[in-house]
Homo-oligomer: A and B are copies of this chain.
Amino acid sequence: MARRSIKVSPDVRRRAARIKLLLMDVDGTLTDGHVWLLSQPDGTALELKSFNAQDGQGLTLAATAGLRTGVITGRESAAMRRRAKESRIEFVYEGCAQKIPAYEDMLKKTGLNEGEVAYVGDDLPDLPVMRRVGLAIAVANAVPEVIGAAHWVTPRRAGDGAVRDVVELLLKSQGKWESFISQARA
């Protein structure tokens, strides 16, 4: 599973250069798509999510470089909220059966136009936002409909570095990668 070089068309590069806000789906995008449930003695079940260390490093570096970030997800979990803090994710919208209202709320709060927003997703509920943003990205393991709606597909699968691929695309297209990698913190 050698690391593939990131291929980017001039159109994608131009779109990426304008992005100021990176929005992401959670399950299957920022995680590997597994939803783990731990049975408890009282008959309830606790949820476990798996994030990727290289994704987290990328998101932290993005924040240092001034890129704003957010997630929109249909589920709710303390795991996601803790990870958002650790990865310096600014906006966290949970429990969103539909994603457009959260998306429009962030547009209003940030005052950005749609061409300045990127969205990364893997499944059908991501399509409505992907059709509006300036840069729509599918992770490598996205369903065919999402691949078809994307301007760019990440080389790596979700949970295996897909979000890191996105951060590198954005910061390199904006000429910021080289100057910020020395500021990476563990």
Which residues does A use to contact B, with CB under 8 Å? 1, 3, 25, 27-28, 31-41, 43-54, 56-57, 61, 72-75, 77-83, 96-99, 122-127, 140-141, 143-145, 147, 157, 159, 164, 181, 184-186
Point out the residues of chain B lying under 8 angstroms from A77, CB to CB: 39, 45
Tell me the complex Cα distance, A74–B61, Å. Answer: 14
Ranked nearest first, the 4 interchain pairs of A and B with the lowest CB-CB distance are A74-B186, A124-B184, A37-B79, A125-B186
CB–CB A54/B78 < 8 A: no
CB–CB B79/A39 < 8 A: yes
CB–CB B181/A38 < 8 A: no
Q: What is the total number of copies of this protein in its complex?
A: 4
CB–CB A49/B78 < 8 A: no
Knowing A78-B45, A79-B39 are in contact, say whether A145-B181 is a contact too (CB < 8 A): yes
CB–CB A28/B54 < 8 A: yes
Contact of A54 among B33, B52, B83 (CB under 8 A): B33
Point out the residues of chain B lying under 8 angstroms from A124, CB to CB: 57, 61, 181, 184
CB–CB A46/B54 < 8 A: no
Contact of A143 among B40, B41, B54 (CB under 8 A): B54
CB–CB A49/B36 < 8 A: yes
Contact of A38 among B33, B38, B44, B123 (CB under 8 A): B38
Tell me the complex Cα distance, A34–B40, Å. Answer: 18
